[in-house]
Structure 1
Amino acid sequence: MKKAILLFILLFSSVGFSQNETIEVFLEKWKNSKTYLVEIAKAMPEENYSYKPTAREMSFGEQLLHIKGNMDWLGTTYFTSEKFDKKKDEKTYSKDEIISMLEMSFDKVYEVIKNTKSENLKDKVEFFAGPKTKLQILNLLQDHVTHHRGQLIVYLNLNEIKPPSYVGW
């Protein structure tokens, strides 16, 4: 029975989704990821944006800016012909500015991926962890947001702020 289920899963995974459907599924999840992260960002009072549980961790606001920077880097470097300019930004931003920048980064990635040809997801790109496909970079985009979003939920809980209800697919 287990072998039959495994065979079904293998067949479905290789036949069931085209690369184009992969992009559509990613975009649906990406919109929901944006909604969820923005709700988390709004839940933390502005005076707690500098909160960090330990000295070695990023603050709540720094976490959000880190997520934004990663989206900008991966979306630009691996899905456009633009050159990504990673400049060190020392400016302090308000809660509203950070949320606005996050929304713009999510929207930019959305548009870039929406306009990516499905066959390009198989393309290999040079990455610091070795060659990866653009599909792997797409997965990394979401995984990175999810990773840091989980940390932000802990920050809310440590401040006795009830996190927003989970938004998935």
Structure 2
Amino acid sequence: MNINRKTALKTLALSALGLPSLANKKKAKNEFSQQFASAWKSSESYTLRLYNQMPEDKLDWKYTPESFSWRTQFVHCITFNTAQLCGRLKIENPTEAKSKIKDYWKTLSKADLEKEIKEFYAWVGKIATETSLERLEKMEPYAGEDIPIWRLFYALENHIIHHRGQAICYLRLNNITPIGYIGW
């Protein structure tokens, strides 16, 4: 290929026009990563503090036969959110093998389930950081509408908030005063 001065200058000029767009994409990715990481860290802290308020002998407590147990509130957050991300991002589900083991989630000690919660939070944080901006911007169906993947991360955090709210009721029903809310 012959490159003359005119072609080289034209290529440089067009490249320069694309740099702000490239810089904006990098900035958008960094902003999402930083903002989500901060919110996610706060979510993990509050979730673990609430989780650890319930005594181990109450892990399988439920207020009605059809309600989730204390344990299931947290297992559900892990397995549902992981499945949602894996399905939409087309990545391997780290909880799938565990879920195939008979009674795996039902037999975890309090400390073992806490470890699973921490691993879940670390995994989601890693996925949020490693997912490309192009993929984060891809639209996916969720709850009756199409949303970008980056918004799915926040929708799944909202799912955790819902179950933490239920966990607060479980604590109160067991005469345990929940810790105060930890904001952002």
Q: TM-score by structure 2 length?
A: 0.73
Match of 1:112 in 2: 127
When residues 66 and 83 of structure 1 are mapped into structure 2, their CA distance, relative to the original with a 3 A threshold, is closer
Shift of 1:151: 0.2
Q: Which runs of 5+ in 1 are unaligned?
A: 1-16
Shift of 1:21: 1.7
SS at 1:165 equivalent:
coil
The percentage of aligned residue pairs carrying the same residue is 27
SS at 1:125 equivalent:
strand
Equivalents in 2 of 1:81, 1:65: separation in Å?
Answer: 20
Equivalents in 2 of 1:46, 1:113: separation in Å?
Answer: 32
Partner letter of residue 71 of structure 1? N
1:59 aligns with 2:69: yes
C-alpha contact 1:20 1:118 (8 A) present in aligned 2: no
1:136 aligns with 2:151: yes
Match of 2:103 in 1: 90
Shift of 1:82: 2.5
Q: Give 1:47's match in structure 2, choosing from 57, 74, 77.
A: 57
Equivalents in 2 of 1:57, 1:64: separation in Å?
Answer: 13
Greater CA deviation, 157-166 or 114-123? Answer: 114-123
Match of 1:25 in 2: 35
C-alpha contact 2:83 2:93 (8 A) present in aligned 1: no
Shift of 1:126: 5.0
Equivalents in 2 of 1:90, 1:127: separation in Å?
Answer: 30
Match of 1:167 in 2: 182
Q: TM-score by structure 1 length?
A: 0.79
Stretches of 4+ moved more than 4 A in 1?
Answer: 126-131
Equivalents in 1 of 2:148, 2:61: separation in Å?
Answer: 37
Match of 1:99 in 2: 114
SS at 1:51 equivalent:
coil
C-alpha contact 1:29 1:168 (8 A) present in aligned 2: no
Match of 2:173 in 1: 158
Match of 2:91 in 1: 81
Partner letter of residue 178 of structure 2? P
Equivalents in 1 of 2:84, 2:183: separation in Å?
Answer: 22
SS at 2:52 equivalent:
helix
Task: Give the structure with higher Rg (CA).
Answer: 2
C-alpha contact 2:61 2:70 (8 A) present in aligned 1: yes
